[in-house]
Amino acid sequence: MNKFCKTFLVIILLSQSLFAVGSKYYQEKFDTTKKLYLGSIMSNNKAKEIEYLKKLIRYGDKLNVNTLKYKRELNRLDDTAVIKNRTTQSVIKFKPKKQVVQKKKVQTRKKTQTTQSSNSKKYSITSVIQKDNSIIINFNKNITSSYIKFSEHKKGNFYYDEFLFKGNFKDAYPTKLSMRGVYKISVYQKKGDLLSITLKNKQNLKTIYIINKRQIIIKVLNLDKKTVSTSNKKQYKTNRNILYPAKKVIVIDPGHGGRDGGASYKRKRFEKNITLNISKYLKKELETFGFKVYLTRKKDRYLKLSYRTKYANSKHADIFISIHANAARKSRAHKAHGVESYFLSPARSARAKRVAALENKGDMTGMGWSSKDSLLTILNRAKITAANKMAIDIQKNMLFSLRQKYGKKNIRDGGVREGPFWVLVGAQMPSVLVEVGYISHPKEGYRISTKAYQKLIAKGIAKGIESYFIKN
């Protein structure tokens, strides 16, 4: 080998070693910055989030790592961000796209609106249909919960369930509805743009309603088995199968367990037992709808947080529900009460962080930075949106179910919130954590431990889940 070849080989070896050293340096920087970025998310520090995202993009480009998700997140947080593409060295400006309005489309839309405006304003309810044990009310636009009011009362030997709908129905007078097991159904248009549908019966009916975009579905749950024909039963089952063409799989996670008792009521009734009871009732309710349901634990045993979501993933669950009971410090124990629903997202409020810290402490010692880092890959927008929708449906139906028995004043709406619950990290499906009430509250704490409350909240959660699947 001549002198020139030797010199060339030495240069190649040196360049390779320098590249390896450089790669190790940037890899360490990249890993450290990921941890710092997670910390900035948890502390809700937007400025730091932007700073660390820029570093992650820079180090990732050096390592030849795909940094597109960090660029998108930076774009969301900082519209003025300008990032160089490492392949073309061209400048990519992340700015929101302007909506292109086509004049022709606008003109045609205006024409259709003018022709339909008089009818849409006059008659916002397009049809009222009775099918099996359901009454379906269709609207000509998307609606919210403000479009319906429900009340029930008893007069003489009859019970009345009255539903009032905001809107006008042209065929209210000629529409006649009848349902096997219900004595009488009245449909009439009230003054003030209100449609009334009243169910009259000798036995108190259990009715629920589901809001689905342009539709409200009223369902009667406890029809007399003697009066309902077998043919109707078969039709109802087939309708369920049409609604859920493939059996949806649900994993329910009773919070805490074993040596982790969770919060307690007067140090006698523990959260771990209450959550297990509610989960068992919930499983029964969901199975009547035709869902396939699994529990992460069926008895009082300790489970790591990471195991719970791994179990849900192994069952290929469509949704994951974790059941918990809330608690407040002694100074606020007599004031804090109500039901709450949470979905996985970086906490944006001190309250959410406090609740998350309380529920996370059971197994945090075994969770290193690698587990926490997975939060960065878990927080995809599609799953967060789905979980948020499901939490809203569950919250509404829990409140409705509980207030039927305990009244509106006694059941406080704690709302739908977002928080960093580690029990939800790692789940590959929309996940919700439900706080069924405050076990630390003198009255609510006792109420939570009763069978009546546990069964009612299980029914509410089940109806919320069914509502979520109908809408989505």
Write the pLDDT tens digit of every residue in 288-337: 888 999 999 999 999 987 788 889 989 999 999 999 998 888 888 788 89
Greater confidence, 460 or 117? Answer: 460
For residue 374, the model assigns a pLDDT of 46
Greater confidence, 18 or 338? Answer: 338
- pLDDT > 90? residue 80: no
Separation CA 262–CA 327 (nearest Å): 9
Q: Using a pLDDT cut of 90, give the percent of the chain over it.
A: 31
Q: Who contacts 59 (Cβ-Cβ below 8 Å, separation ≥6)?
A: 26, 29, 30, 33
Identify the structural domains of the chain with CATH numbers, from first to last: 21-93 (no CATH), 123-228 (2.60.40), 240-471 (3.40.630.40)
Query: For the purposes of burial, counting CB atoms within 10 Å of the CB of 115, is it exposed (0-12), middle (13-18) or buried (19 or more)?
Result: exposed
In order of 148, 151, 212, 399, 453, the CA distances from 403 in angstroms are 16, 12, 22, 6, 11
Separation CA 363–CA 271 (nearest Å): 16
Lowest mean pLDDT among 45-54, 95-104, 119-128, 250-259: 95-104
Q: What is the mean pLDDT of residues 167-178?
A: 87
DSSP code, position 330: G
DSSP code, position 172: T
Assigned token pair, 277: 């009871």
Q: Who contacts 131 (Cβ-Cβ below 8 Å, separation ≥6)?
A: 239
What pLDDT band is residue 223 in, cutting at 50, 70 and 90? confident
- pLDDT > 60? residue 385: yes
Q: Which of 409, 232, 424 is nearest to 342 (CA)?
A: 424
Q: Who contacts 150 (Cβ-Cβ below 8 Å, separation ≥6)?
A: 161, 162, 163, 164, 207, 209
What pLDDT band is residue 373 in, cutting at 50, 70 and 90? very low
Specify whether the CB–CB gap between 160 and 199 falls below 8 A: yes
- pLDDT > 60? residue 397: yes
Query: For the purposes of burial, counting CB atoms within 10 Å of the CB of 440, is it exposed (0-12), middle (13-18) or buried (19 or more)?
Result: buried
What pLDDT band is residue 273 in, cutting at 50, 70 and 90? very high
- pLDDT > 60? residue 242: no
- pLDDT > 70? residue 359: no
What pLDDT band is residue 178 in, cutting at 50, 70 and 90? confident
Separation CA 345–CA 379 (nearest Å): 7
For residue 331, the model assigns a pLDDT of 83
For residue 403, the model assigns a pLDDT of 94
Specify whether the CB–CB gap between 147 and 167 falls below 8 A: yes
Separation CA 96–CA 99 (nearest Å): 9
Lowest mean pLDDT among 160-174, 227-241, 328-342, 453-467: 227-241
Separation CA 359–CA 362 (nearest Å): 7
Separation CA 341–CA 322 (nearest Å): 10
Separation CA 32–CA 55 (nearest Å): 10
For residue 447, the model assigns a pLDDT of 93
Task: Please identify which residue in the block is written with the tokens 């037992």.
Answer: 273
For residue 197, the model assigns a pLDDT of 95
Q: Which amino acid appears at position 87 of this protein?
A: T
331: number of Cβ within 10 Å: 8
Is this structure's pTM higher than 0.85?
Answer: no
- pLDDT > 80? residue 83: no
Query: For the purposes of burial, counting CB atoms within 10 Å of the CB of 344, is it exposed (0-12), middle (13-18) or buried (19 or more)?
Result: buried
- pLDDT > 90? residue 276: yes
State the pairing for strand pair 158-166/194-201: antiparallel
Separation CA 216–CA 234 (nearest Å): 23
For residue 92, the model assigns a pLDDT of 44
Greater confidence, 386 or 350? Answer: 386
For residue 460, the model assigns a pLDDT of 95
What pLDDT band is residue 183 in, cutting at 50, 70 and 90? very high
Greater confidence, 278 or 353? Answer: 278
- pLDDT > 60? residue 241: no
3-class DSSP state for residue 391?
Answer: helix
Mean predicted lDDT score pLDDT of the chain: 76
3-class DSSP state for residue 361?
Answer: coil
Separation CA 391–CA 227 (nearest Å): 36
List pLDDT tens digits, range 102-155. Answer: 544 445 455 444 444 444 457 889 999 988 889 999 999 988 888 998 888 888
Task: Please identify which residue in the block is written with the tokens 């008893």.
Answer: 154
Q: Find which of 84-98, 118-132, 200-214 is predicted with most confidence, using mean pLDDT.
A: 200-214
Assigned token pair, 426: 């790692």
